[in-house]
Amino acid sequence: MKNILGREIPESIQGYGAVKPFKGAFASLGEIEKKSVAIKPAVPGEKKVLASIQEAISKCNMKDGMTISFHHHLRNGDYILNMVLEEVAKVGIKDIKVAASSIFPVHAPLVQHMKTGVVTGVYASYMSGPVAEAISRGELKNPAIMHTHGGRTRAIASGDLAIDIAFIAAPTCDTYGNINGVDGEAACGALGYAVADAIYAAKTVAITDNLVAYPACPIEITQEYIDYIVQVECIGDPKGIVSGTTQITKDPVGLKIAKMTSKVIETSGLLKDGFSFQTGAGGTSLAVAAYVKELMEKKEIKGSFAAGGITGYLVEMFEAGLFESIFDVQCFDLKAVESYRKNQKHQGMSASMYGNPHNKGAVVNNLDVMILGATEIDTDFNVNVTTGSSGMIMGGSGGHSDTAAGAKLAIVVTQLVKGRLPIVVDGVTTVTTPGETIDVLVTERGIAVNPKRQDLIEKLEAANLPVMTIEALKQIAEGMTGVPEKIEKDDKVVAVVEYRDGTVIDVVKKIKD
């Protein structure tokens, strides 16, 4: 069958089940149900601290076929996922589904566990590195399931993703399970992606290298949700956790795109007191932030909030008084961690509060402007950030689809051509984010506005910005590169791309050898 975007999708996928096809970004927002949770209460006097991960596996009754979860705040410095799976493999447990909020190159040992059948399923909102490549090659028994950050919490709360045991990497944890991410050697700041796991998992194990006396302070995840605690030598490599602030691009093409983007924002009418803003950590995105900063300072605009994964650059804007506050689901660098630790108005948020479409209102719903990247964008404005044009998985939505759906103005910024391939294409290799939620594409050669935003087209044209159709941009790109050849794909579905509401927006097929 085809979904509403015309993507060919099986009605049922082996190892996934029946497919609910994507029907539009806001088509599934009727009454919903958050699942019930069965837990074992703690009796006064019971101790939670165990001697080892092995003991936790045993106390939690881990069995073949279970789903275990991890969060990715330690990013490419995370030791926990590998540490736990090594112990799982040792005791001979098989057929485990790993629900990691994201997977990085550091998680390469997972490939071996896929080969031996220890791990047969993977859920992630983003994946890059050897695991993503192995999945693309068809080495995982069941198709991987790829969520958005908000969609992951929706899936957990609804029971679509039922977690048997959550393992929470805890930079600081007290002896009764109160956790924060701001202290300890592996301090990573906000722990927003781990909250739903803690609340909805049947069993939750905190793993920490900084076990402190009761009670910890501050507390990001409370004792109410933690069954057991294991102390280990080290939960992660700080160098991989917070990589230092990404730099604003120095590339003239990137700067040209950023400057034009800032003009689009200015012209949109949204840049006024109360302005809210989110951008990623890429060099061009940060350059947009820099130009927006200039504009805000010049016009003396006081914004309401910046949100998202937070970089030092957004902290600087906040500390300069340009934003009233910050909503932080994850800190990208040490400056963000430090600000989150000390500034009351640098507030944490759970991934559900950030982007879950199935709660009474996520933070993304209040975003004025979101700056997004793209690996490909097609003439319907559908964006791919999941696969390269070869079909290899090298990313995933993360918050891409969530913020695009929520923001009043969702802008994709990209060069027209990368690595000799056109970025604007007839049909993207994989749809991550539906075009109906993208308002504008800004490239170095011109600006394309989604035809549903006639109001914006008029404003940008009146301001003499280089507006053209997205088809025109595609032709310019193809004029530079030629029309790319269609890649051949195998029939096997290696990953199912779920939109934030749990419908299937696309599938990823096995790459041909």
Footprint of a second copy (CB under 8 A): 26, 29-46, 48, 176-177, 204, 213-215, 217-219, 222-227, 274, 304-305, 324-325, 327, 344-345, 347, 349-350, 352-353, 356-366, 405-406
Residues paired with 506 in a beta bridge: 497
Place of tokens 């409370």: 222
Q: CA of 169: how far to CAs of 61, 78, 310, 336, in Å? A: 20, 8, 19, 19
Handedness of CA 409, 415, 419, 420 (dihedral sign): positive
CB 352: neighbour CB atoms within 10 A?
26
CB of 333: closest distance to a second copy in angstroms?
A: 22
- Tokens 């696969």 correspond to 387
Separation between Cα atoms, residue 219 and residue 207, nearest integer Å: 15
List the beta bridge partners of residue 236.
Answer: 78
- Looking at the Cβ atoms of 364 and 385, the one nearer to a second copy is 364
Distance of CA 404 to the CA centre of its chain: 12
Least distance to a second copy from the beta carbon of 106, Å? 30
Q: Is the dihedral of CA 364, 370, 374, 378 positive or negative?
A: positive
Min CB(220)–a second copy separation in Å: 11
Q: For 26, phi and psi rounded to 5 degrees?
A: -125, 25
Sign of CA dihedral 27, 33, 38, 43: positive
Closest distance of CB 213 from a second copy, Å: 6
Residue placing its CB nearer to a second copy in the complex, 13 or 315: 315
We find the least distance from the C-beta atom of residue 338 to a second copy, in angstroms, to be 15
Q: CB of residue 405 vs a second copy: minimum separation in angstroms?
A: 7
Identity of the residue, 357 or 399, whose beta carbon is nearer to a second copy in the bound complex:
357
Residue among 124 and 351 whose Cβ is closer to a second copy: 351
State which residue, 226 or 449, has the beta carbon closest to a second copy.
Answer: 226
DSSP H helices, 269-302, are: 283-299
Query: Which amino acid, residue 423?
Result: I
For the CB of residue 227, give the shortest distance to a second copy in the complex, in Å.
Answer: 6
Nearer to a second copy, 153 or 279 (CB): 153
Nearest distance in Å: CB 193, a second copy: 15
> Residue 18 or 43: which CB sits closer to a second copy?
43
Question: How many CB atoms sit inside 10 A of residue 18's CB?
Answer: 9
Closest distance to a second copy from the beta carbon of 177 (Å): 7
Q: CB-wise, 42 or 232, nearer to a second copy?
A: 42
CA distance 86 to 118: 10
Cβ atoms within 10 Å, residue 406: 26
Q: What are phi and psi of 317, to 5 degrees?
A: -65, -40
Instruction: Show Cβ contacts of residue 178 under 8 Å, excluding neighbours closer than 6 positions.
Output: 214, 215, 216, 219, 221, 222, 223, 226
CB-wise, 113 or 358, nearer to a second copy? 358
Alpha-carbon distance of 69 to 198, in angstroms, equals: 10
Phi-psi region for residue 327, left (φ > 0), alpha (ψ -120 to 50) or beta?
Answer: beta
Q: b vs e for 225-235, b when ≥16 Cβ sit within 10 Å of the residue's Cβ?
A: bbbbbbbeeeb
| Euclidean distance between CA atoms 359 and 361, whole angstroms | 5
CB of 356 to a second copy, least distance (A): 8
Question: Whole-number minimum distance, CB 448 to a second copy, in Å?
Answer: 23
Kindly state the smallest distance separating residue 452's Cβ from a second copy, in Å.
Answer: 14
> Shortest gap between Cβ of 268 and a second copy (angstroms)?
16
Closer of 400 and 510 to a second copy (Cβ): 400
130 cis-preceded (ω within 30 degrees of 0)? no
Nearer to a second copy by Cβ, of 225 and 313: the residue is 225
CA–CA dist 275, 273 (Å, integer): 5
Type of residue found at 145? I
Closest CA to 473 of 499, 451, 444: 444
Encoding tokens for residue 291? 């130009």
Nearer to a second copy, 159 or 484 (CB): 159
Can you give the length of the chain in residues?
513
Q: Toward a second copy, which CB reaches closer, 350 or 386?
A: 350
